[in-house]
Amino acid sequence: MERKNEKTKDDYYDVLRTISEGWYEGENDYTPFIKYFLGIVLNRYKDFENRIGEIDKKSTPYDIVRKAVSEKLGLFTKAEILELCPSIGSSSVEAALKKLREEHYILRQGGGRSTTYVRNPKHQ
């Protein structure tokens, strides 16, 4: 979300400038800010809906995780995969990551809370 907000920061500051006019006199209008904010919320909702819509209902949790992993560059964590796969639970993600490790599709680095993964260079 922060990256997307960064793209609209000029609009944000313009809206703040607009709603500040007449503030001292109590004559300012907050409508532009409300419209800007609701536009941001709508945009994020559409992004979320698109991410959910991309999930093939016939895909197994393993397929969903493998697709998410294939789109990652460099190191990633289980938490990042969970974020990319909102339709499946933590234990399903763990099982899929385990299977991907067994297939040597990904490599595990570290352990415990500091565990990270990377795609095996042979599969890139």
Phi/psi of residue 51, nearest 5 degrees: -65, -45
pTM score, two decimals? 0.55
What is the architecture, at CATH level 2, of domain 61-123? Orthogonal Bundle (1.10)
Q: Which residues of 23-45 are buried (b: 16+ CB within 10 A; e: fewer)?
A: eeeeeeeeebbeebeeebeeeee
pLDDT, tens digit only, all 124 positions of the chain: 666 677 788 888 999 999 999 888 988 999 999 999 898 888 888 777 766 665 555 788 999 999 899 888 889 999 999 988 888 899 999 999 999 999 999 999 988 888 999 998 886 6
Question: Under 8 Å CB-to-CB from 107, ≥6 apart: which residues?
Answer: 101, 117, 118, 119, 120
Quickly list DSSP for 38-55.
HHHHHHHHHHHHHHHHTS
Domain boundaries of the chain, sorted by first residue: 2-53, 61-123
